[in-house]
Chains A and B, each alone.
Chain A
Amino acid sequence: MADSSLFKEFAKGTVKENPLLISLLGMCPALAVTTSLTNAVGMGAAVIFVLTMSNIVVALLRKIIPDAVRIPAFIVIIASFVTIVDLSMAAWVPSLSKSLGLFIPLIVVNCIILARAEAFAYKNGVARSIMDGVGMGLGYTLGLVSVAFFRELLGNGTLFGIGVLGEAFKANSVLVMILPPGAFLTLGLIVGFMNRIRRV
C-alpha cells in the first residue's frame, strides 16, 4: 500500500499535473532554452536536481522552520542548490553552461520549485517529497523536451544536433522556430493540444 502511494506521488507530476504543460509554471526557461534538445535535457536535469534536493531539505527541516519566515528560508535553501548546479555545470560541462547562461541562476525564481516546497515538501515526509520532486522534475523535463523537439526539428532539421531531415531541409529550414516567436507559438500549440486531449 505504501509503495503504491509513493508511486502515485511520482506519477502525478509527469502527466496529470505536469508543471509546464498543465499548470503552466516555469515558462521563462521553457521558452528561452528550448532551441535545442540538448539544452532542454540539460535544463531539465538541473531542475530535477534542485527540485529534489530542496524538497529533501525542506521536508527534513519542516518542523524547525517557523511559519512566519518559511518563504525566505525556502529561498535560501533553493539558492544554495542552484549555486551548486551553476558552479558544477561551469566546471564540467562549460559548453552547456554557456548556452543556458542566465537561466541557470534564474532557477532560483522558477515558480515550480518554490511551489513544491510550499505546497508539498513543507507538509510531507522525506520519502514522499523525494518522489514528488523527481516526478515533478521529470514532468517539467518532458515538457521542455516536447517543446524543444518541434523547435529543433523544424528550425534546424536536427535532433540532438544530428541531422534527420536531410541537407535540403536544413538549407531552407523554418528559421522562425528557433527565433523567439517560434517559442511562444510552439508552447501555445502544445498547451492547446493538451487541453484538447484532456477535453477541457
Chain B
Amino acid sequence: MGLLTLIIWTVFVNNVILSQFLGICPFMGVSKKLDSAIGMSAAVLFVIVLATVITYLLQFGVLVPLKLEYLQTIMFILVIAALVQFVEMVIRKVSPALFEALGIFLPLITTNCAVLGTAIMATQKDFNLLQAVVFAVGISLGFALVLLLFAAIRERLDLETSTPRYMKGMPIALVTASILSLAFLGFSGMVKM
C-alpha cells in the first residue's frame, strides 16, 4: 500500500487514541496544559519511532529465525523500558534544555501502551521496514494531533462554570473525548486498507 495512504489511515481514519484506545493514560493525564501536551507529543514521537524500528529488527532478525516468537511480549517491553532509560540519559547529556522540556514525560512513556501496541502491530501487518517506520510516524502524529486538540479544548473546559460538580475533571473530559471521537468517525471509509 502507498505510504501516504498509510499516514492518512493512521492519523485520521484509525486514530491511535480515538478509535484504537491506545495511550489513554497520557491522553487524559497530560492534556490539561497545551505546553505539556507539546512536550509529551514530541517525546512519544521520538520513542515510538525508535522502539518500532528496534523491535521490528529484533522480531524478524532474532525471534522469528530462532522460532522464539512466544517471547515477543517479554522482549519488547524490556527493549522499550531499556530504550526509554537510554534515551533519557542521552538527552540529559546532549541537550539539557531538551531534557528540561521532555524529562518528566520520558519515564511515563514506558507504561504508555501506544508504544508497545505500535511495536506489536507493526510486526503483525506484513510491513517492510520502511512501511513500519511510516506506520510509527503516522501513529505518533495521530497521537500528537488529538492530544493537542484535546489540550486546547480542556483549557477552555476548565473555565466552564456550568459543569455539575460531580462531572468536573475526568468525567466531563471523557464525554468531550466522546464527541471528538464522533467527529473523527467522519473520516472512516476515506481510505481503504
- Verify B173–A188 contact, CB threshold 8 A: yes
Decide if A72 is an interface residue (CB 8 Å cutoff). yes
Chain B, interface residues (CB within 8 Å), range: 35 or more
Known: A31-B21, A72-B81, A105-B72. A24 touches B170 (CB 8 A): yes
Decide if A183 is an interface residue (CB 8 Å cutoff). yes
Interface flags, B4-42, vs A, CB<8A=1, else 0: 000000000000001111111100100000000000000
- Verify B185–A181 contact, CB threshold 8 A: yes
- Verify B73–A79 contact, CB threshold 8 A: yes
- Verify B112–A188 contact, CB threshold 8 A: no
- Verify B175–A188 contact, CB threshold 8 A: yes
- Verify B74–A28 contact, CB threshold 8 A: no
Residues B169-187 near A (CB distance < 8 A): 170-175, 177-179, 181-182, 185
Decide if B136 is an interface residue (CB 8 Å cutoff). no
Which of B78, B117, B171 contacts A76, CB < 8 Å? B78
Residues in B whose Cβ lies below 8 Å from that of A189: 171, 175
How many residue pairs, one in A and one in B, have C-beta atoms under 8 Å apart?
114
Chain A, interface residues (CB within 8 Å), range: 35 or more
- Verify A28–B24 contact, CB threshold 8 A: yes
Known: A75-B81, A181-B178. A83 touches B74 (CB 8 A): yes
- Verify B70–A108 contact, CB threshold 8 A: no
Decide if A184 is an interface residue (CB 8 Å cutoff). yes
Closest to B124 in A: A102
Residues in A whose Cβ lies below 8 Å from that of B116: 105-106, 108-109
Known: A105-B120, A188-B175. A27 touches B25 (CB 8 A): yes
Decide if B165 is an interface residue (CB 8 Å cutoff). yes
Decide if B77 is an interface residue (CB 8 Å cutoff). yes
A187 to chain B, nearest CB (A): 5
Residues in A whose Cβ lies below 8 Å from that of B175: 184-185, 188-189
Complex CA–CA separation, A31 to B175 (angstroms): 13
Complex CA–CA separation, A110 to B22 (angstroms): 11
Residues A7-55 near B (CB distance < 8 A): 24, 27-29, 31-32
B174 to chain A, nearest CB (A): 3
Closest to B75 in A: A79
Interface flags, A177-199, vs B, CB<8A=1, else 0: 00111111101110111011001
Residues in A whose Cβ lies below 8 Å from that of B174: 184-185, 187-188, 191
- Verify A184–B111 contact, CB threshold 8 A: no
Closest to A193 in B: B166
- Verify A180–B25 contact, CB threshold 8 A: no
Complex CA–CA separation, A29 to B24 (angstroms): 9
- Verify A179–B81 contact, CB threshold 8 A: no
Closest to A115 in B: B111
B133 to chain A, nearest CB (A): 20
Known: A76-B78, A185-B174, A188-B173. A108 touches B73 (CB 8 A): yes
Residues in B whose Cβ lies below 8 Å from that of A121: none
Which of B20, B111, B178 contacts A111, CB < 8 Å? B111
Decide if A200 is an interface residue (CB 8 Å cutoff). yes
Residues B37-79 near A (CB distance < 8 A): 70-74, 77-78
B177 to chain A, nearest CB (A): 4
A–B complex contacts, Cβ < 8 Å, 24 sampled: A24-B170, A31-B24, A75-B78, A75-B81, A79-B77, A80-B74, A108-B77, A108-B116, A109-B77, A109-B111, A110-B113, A111-B25, A111-B111, A114-B111, A180-B21, A180-B181, A181-B185, A183-B21, A184-B174, A184-B181, A187-B174, A189-B175, A192-B172, A200-B165
Closest 6 CB pairs of A and B: A188-B174, A192-B171, A184-B178, A195-B166, A32-B21, A185-B178
Q: Known contacts A27-B24, A83-B74; can you find 16 more A-B pairs with CB under 8 A?
A: A27-B25, A27-B28, A28-B22, A28-B113, A31-B24, A32-B21, A72-B78, A105-B72, A106-B120, A109-B77, A111-B111, A179-B185, A185-B175, A188-B174, A188-B175, A191-B174
